[in-house]
Amino acid sequence: MIKQFLKNWTLPCAIAIGTIVYLIFYWVPQLDAAGDALGEVVDTIFPMMVFCTLFSTFCRIDFHQMKPHRWHVGVLAAQVLLVALNVWIIFCVEADPGKKILWESVLTCIIGPAATAAPVVTAKIGGNINTMTAFVVLSSFASALMIPAVFPLLERGSHLTFFSAFIIILEKLAIVLILPLALGWFMQHYAKKACAWIVSIPDLSFYLWAAQLSVTSGVTVRNIVHSDAGLAVLLMIATMSLILCFALFLLGRSIGRHLGDELCSGQASFQKNTALSIWVAYTYLNPMASVGAGCYVLWQNIVNSIELWEYRRKTK
């Protein structure tokens, strides 16, 4: 009974575990030293967890099917328009620090690329893992161009030039996206037996991603707890990120309905690389703006959980 429950509700359980573990270390002073040591270990192994999740996913994809599609263009165009609208709103409310932080937190979510784990969830709910992987690569490159072009306009004190920021973002993405993609291609062509063994493990990518989500949830709660923002501001940011999550989901579904792939388009639009969004908020904007991306990761995985439940219900 318990095993089946954990299997059916893996993502909410992962979020709960990460949250509870962090709060235990936060509330029990005797665990401070152990918590600091564990935090360093987590910071070290987290990129490896992302790498392993994607590598196991990319061993399954058909590289010949990774082609641009019409819905790719539609979702990217919608993202660019939303970024432009959001920047205009920030300029309009610049005199009000509270409103500016609120809309900057929204911008960090919108401008971020599609989540590197998006192909994992898409495959789990019956979507096309090949076209989703192609979109993640395109989306990452698009965000690497938009972020250093847009953010210095909002916070002019940034020391990073466009080119240096572009290279840093690409470097961060290459380690956790391009490298496992290249290794997956290599395994399919030159280590076929090992690749077949990885593919034969049921739901390996999904459970690796659940472990990664547990760590992400703990880090998100840490950022919220240690934020300097007042409770009212935190609630407004959390509410706005919730509204944004559903708005992007519905927008993506609408685009996909007209351009050929409703399921994948919806996932591509709303499932964001929040780790990168948090980094750019700390680098370019007020660090409190990172709370928006921190809340967003919780909302998007609740939506993913609902989608997984709905898919199980339909297939049964």
DSSP 175: I
**111, 277 contact by CB (below 8 A):** yes
Give start and end residues of each alpha helix (H) in 28-128.
Answer: 32-58, 70-92, 97-111, 118-124
Give residue 5's pLDDT: 64
End-to-end Cα spacing for the chain: 18
Looking from the CA of 33 toward its CB, the CA atoms found within 13 Å total 1
- The percentage of residues in the chain with a pLDDT greater than 70, rounded to a whole number, is 93
223-263 pLDDT, tens digit per residue, is 777 777 677 888 888 899 999 999 999 999 999 999 888 99
Stated length of the chain: 316
Helix (H, G, I), strand (E, B) or coil at 135: helix
Give residue 1's pLDDT: 61
Helix (H, G, I), strand (E, B) or coil at 8: helix
| Tokens coding 293 | 């991306």
Query: What residue has token string 């921190």?
Result: 294
Residue 307 has pLDDT above 60, yes or no: yes
In DSSP notation, 185-231 reads HHHHHH-HHHHHHHHHSTTHHHHHHHHHHHHHHHHHHHHHHT--S-H
Helix (H, G, I), strand (E, B) or coil at 313: helix
* Cα–Cα distance, 261 to 60 (Å, whole number): 20
Amino acid at 12: P
Region of residue 126 (phi > 0: left; psi between -120 and 50: alpha; otherwise: beta): left
128-149 pLDDT, tens digit per residue, is 888 998 898 888 888 888 887 8
Helix (H, G, I), strand (E, B) or coil at 114: strand
Helix (H, G, I), strand (E, B) or coil at 272: strand
Give residue 84's pLDDT: 93
**127, 271 contact by CB (below 8 A):** no
